[in-house]
């Protein structure tokens, strides 16, 4: 055989290998969609309610898996997101309070030594993007582009105004600050939920052959209550005016999710995309600390955001993946937001050899190759005071929190899944077993580091007042000099 022919065959083989390599990368795209303060009963797929229209989410649930015992790691925003993105209980690294919006503070944010699952996926060839709410640090080193995301369109604080034209340059409150695209200011000229959805859809349409991971973190339906009037008008039959707007906000989010799904179909990526949808915690409930916040519906569960009752941590939670989930079904095992990172890392063939992930790969459960419960127990701890904790198994829940009518409580989760009857101390052996589980879990945790936002802001204000006082004293003490 001539040398030239051998060379030609060699080039062809190399080209084919490259082509096969590209074809062989059939790893799925991954989209995590997170609602903010969404009531359990405010989407149709949890109980068939039609008061708020969520047809696109209902369709995903009908053709996917609904996790009937789906939980988050914390009953309010920031810590819940820290757990979801790292795949680790946030108590592992002492982050149990909301991160304050403080672009000047190099310590106020998700510790940079903690790996987000975006960082893990990026290392194995995934394109990574985030749209919407970050709430894990505003100083440059904490921002999404430094925490594993190639692309960022959204905002850094715990919320934002929804209507265009409300931005105030230089505002110390991130709610009013400009939207960010990567590291630069950006604009939005329509309802914010729609703008985030549209940008996510555009990202899909311009995506290439590489698999991508998208984190769409809506601030809807978190306050402030704002929605297009036309959508609010759809819910005039609701007597509670605040709930009218809230319903419109959920409706607009559902429409935005539809835009994302339609973009997947248009791009030919619908079948091989795993979509997770959940809320970061329960909806607002008119507890003593916000008695007028009554627009969300967490029924059949008690209480809501901030509470360790089911209303605060048991959330709407689904997964959709046409290539793997052939028919919609309901799954009853204990599932955690932690599992999203573990599942994503597993199916992306990313590295988890450090053994730090607390979640479980849900792929065998979603494909019905495995039954039972992914977790034997789930755990919670709050910083607001000592002895605020909870542990939940498939059969029971043992907890303590100073909520009206709760305190220290034991619930039979088989016969009383909505926690109506406090059976504390009636089953001392079972309580002791749950306490032992919680104490074993807590051994590997750090004490909380961050201050609550109001305490932090008070300390910062006191610092500035003292700084100004010292500066004035120094100025007064200086002698005037005379020019000769």
Say if residue 422 is preceded by a cis peptide, omega within 30 of 0: no
Q: State which H helix or E strand residue 152 sits in.
A: strand 151-155
pLDDT at position 50 is 76
What percentage of the chain has pLDDT greater than the value 90? 88
Beta strands in 337-434 (DSSP E): 377-381, 389-393, 396-401, 407-412
Per residue in 117-170, pLDDT tens?
A: 999 999 999 999 999 999 999 999 999 999 999 999 999 999 999 999 998 888
Contacts of 151 (CB under 8 A, 6+ apart): 127, 128, 129, 130, 182, 203
DSSP-assigned letters across all residues of 67-104: EEEEE-SSSSHHHHHHHHHHTS-GGGGT--SPPP--TT
- What are the two backbone dihedrals, phi and then psi, of residue 438, each rounded to the nearest 5 degrees? -65, -45
Residues 313 and 71: beta-carbon distance below 8 Å: yes
Among residues 283, 279, 248, the alpha carbon closest in space to that of 53 is found at 248
Q: State which H helix or E strand residue 254 sits in.
A: helix 241-267
Please, what sign has the CA dihedral across residues 185, 186, 192, 195? negative
Parts of the chain with a pLDDT under 70: 1-24
> Whole-model pTM above 0.85?
yes
pLDDT at position 148 is 97
Contacts of 327 (CB under 8 A, 6+ apart): 63
pLDDT at position 5 is 54
Round to whole Å and give the CA distance between 344 and 274.
Answer: 9
Among residues 384, 385, 386, 339, the alpha carbon closest in space to that of 365 is found at 339
Please, what sign has the CA dihedral across residues 196, 197, 203, 209? positive
CB atoms within 10 A of CB 440: 11
pLDDT at position 163 is 97
Contacts of 346 (CB under 8 A, 6+ apart): 352, 361, 363
Active site residues: 77, 135
């Amino acid at each position: 055989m001539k040398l030239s022919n051998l060379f030609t065959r060699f080039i062809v083989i190399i080209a084919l290998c490259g082509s096969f390599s590209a074809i062989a990368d059939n790893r799925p795209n991954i989209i995590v969609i997170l609602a903010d303060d969404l009531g359990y009963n405010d989407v149709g797929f949890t109980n068939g309610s039609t008061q708020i229209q969520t047809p696109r989410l209902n369709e995903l649930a009908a053709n996917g898996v609904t996790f009937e015992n789906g939980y988050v790691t914390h009953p309010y925003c920031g810590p819940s997101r820290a757990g979801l993105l790292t795949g680790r209980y946030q108590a592992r690294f002492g982050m149990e309070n909301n991160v304050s919006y403080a672009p000047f503070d190099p310590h106020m944010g998700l510790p940079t030594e903690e790996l987000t699952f975006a960082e893990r996926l990026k290392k194995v060839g995934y394109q990574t993007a985030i749209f919407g709410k970050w709430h894990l640090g505003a100083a440059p080193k904490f921002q999404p582009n430094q925490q594993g995301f190639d692309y960022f369109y959204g905002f850094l604080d715990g919320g934002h105004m929804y209507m265009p034209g409300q931005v105030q340059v230089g505002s110390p409150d991130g709610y009013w600050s400009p939207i960010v695209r990567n590291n630069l200011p950006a604009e939005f000229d329509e309802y914010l939920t729609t703008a985030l959805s549209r940008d996510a859809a555009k990202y899909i349409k311009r995506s290439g052959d590489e698999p991508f991971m998208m984190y769409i973190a809506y601030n809807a339906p978190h306050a402030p209550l704002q929605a297009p009037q036309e959508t609010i008008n759809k819910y005039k039959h609701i007597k509670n005016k605040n709930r009218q707007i809230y319903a419109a906000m959920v409706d607009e989010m559902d429409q935005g999710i539809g835009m994302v799904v339609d973009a997947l179909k248009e791009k030919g990526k619908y079948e091989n995309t795993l979509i997770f949808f959940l809320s970061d915690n329960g909806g607002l409930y008119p507890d003593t600390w916000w008695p007028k916040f009554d627009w969300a519906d967490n029924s059949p569960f008690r209480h809501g955001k901030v509470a360790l009752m089911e209303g605060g941590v048991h959330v709407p939670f689904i997964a959709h993946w046409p290539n793997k989930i052939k028919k919609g079904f309901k799954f009853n095992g204990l599932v955690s937001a932690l599992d999203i990172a573990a599942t994503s890392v597993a199916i992306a063939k990313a590295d988890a050899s450090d053994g730090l992930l607390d979640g479980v790969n849900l792929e065998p459960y979603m494909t019905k190759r495995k039954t039972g419960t992914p977790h034997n127990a789930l755990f919670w701890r709050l910083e607001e005071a000592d002895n605020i904790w909870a542990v939940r198994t498939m059969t029971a829940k043992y907890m303590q929190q100073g909520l009206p009518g709760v305190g220290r409580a034991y619930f039979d989760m088989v016969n009383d899944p909505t926690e109506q009857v406090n059976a504390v101390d009636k089953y001392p052996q079972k309580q002791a077993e749950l306490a032992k589980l919680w104490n074993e879990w807590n051994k590997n945790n750090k004490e909380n580091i961050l201050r609550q936002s109001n305490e932090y802001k008070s300390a910062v204000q006191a610092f500035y007042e003292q700084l100004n006082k010292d500066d004035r004293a120094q100025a007064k003490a200086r002698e005037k000099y005379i020019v000769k």
